[in-house]
Amino acid sequence: MTELRVHNFSISLDGYGAGPSQDPGNPLGVGGELLHEWLFPPSGQRTEADERFMALGAEGVGATIMGRNMFGPVRGNWPDESWTGWWGEDPPFHHDVFVLTHHPRPPVQMAGGTVFHFVTDGIEAALDHARAAAGGRHVRLGGGASTVQQYLRAGLVDELHVVVVPVLLGSGERLFEDLGVALDGWGCVEFTPSATVSHVRLRRL
Among candidate residues 196, 160, 179, the one with its CA nearest the CA of residue 57? 160
Residue 203 C-beta: closest distance to a copy of itself, Å:
11
Stated as kind and residue range, the H or E segment containing 6 is strand 4-12
Among candidate residues 66, 36, 60, the one with its CA nearest the CA of residue 50? 36
> What residues numbered 145-174 form the site for a copy of itself, per CB under 8 A?
162, 164, 166-168, 170, 174
Question: Is residue 92 within 8 Å of 66, Cβ to Cβ?
Answer: no
CA atoms within 13 A on the CB side of 202: 18
Residue placing its CB nearer to a copy of itself in the complex, 139 or 175: 175
> What residues numbered 3-42 form the site for a copy of itself, per CB under 8 A?
13-15
Residue 70 C-beta: closest distance to a copy of itself, Å:
21
Amino acid at 160: L
Residue 48 C-beta: closest distance to a copy of itself, Å:
14
Interface residues with a copy of itself (CB under 8 A) are: 13-15, 162, 164, 166-168, 170, 174, 176, 179, 181, 183-184, 186-188, 191, 193-194, 196, 198, 200, 202
